[in-house]
A = this chain, B = another copy of it.
Amino acid sequence: MSRPPTLQFWFDPASTYAYLSAMRIEEEAARHGVSVIWCPFLLGPIFRAQGWETSPFNVYPAKGRYMVRDIERLAASRGLPPFRLPDPFPANSVRAARTALMAAERGLAPDFMCRLFTAAFAEGRDIALPETLRDCLVAAGAPNPDEILAAIGETSTKERLRLETERAATLGIFGAPTFITPDGELFWGDDRLSAALEWACET
């Protein structure tokens, strides 16, 4: 029996366009018969390597204003709640990304991340706060949310996220969302999701 094609979905929980992809990727992937691998990482170190101390949407204000309008329009056209830009933006996503790593290995990533992204970009909640993470873990059906929350402070968890972020840089990732097919083809941006899924099917 052959295994279904896969697609790596690389995201930072603070990324606005990764939010848009997270909310539709499982449904679109299922339609293509593709299995999604959720890969949390941190954009911060990658942006710093490019010389940015914050999000490019802050470094370049015209781009930032456009991004908000673009996501407002896309959210409306996809039936998502009205978009809210978090304050501060970007949120500190270190704890959220570590939690996402652990949720992913328990098979909870899609549910957990859709709830967390919605908290961040529709409900005005701060994903840096443990209570936000806890609420989303509970809502995603995690049987042991406090065990996960305790683990995000452990050295081994920190090290895993650091290694994942290094792997992202090695793969050529410079932004989020990024999709990578089994043959190593890289697609950047929510607007490339369909193309990435089609490529994954062909290989």
Contact = CB atoms under 8 A, between A and B. Distances in A.
A57 to B, nearest CB: 11
Nearest to A191: B191
A73 interface: yes
A85 interface: no
Contact of A174 (B63, B172, B186): B63
B73 A186 contact: no
Interface residues of A, number: 22
Nearest to A188: B66
20 contacts: A50-B60, A50-B62, A60-B174, A62-B172, A62-B173, A62-B174, A63-B174, A63-B175, A66-B172, A66-B174, A66-B186, A66-B188, A69-B185, A69-B186, A70-B188, A70-B192, A73-B195, A77-B195, A189-B191, A191-B191
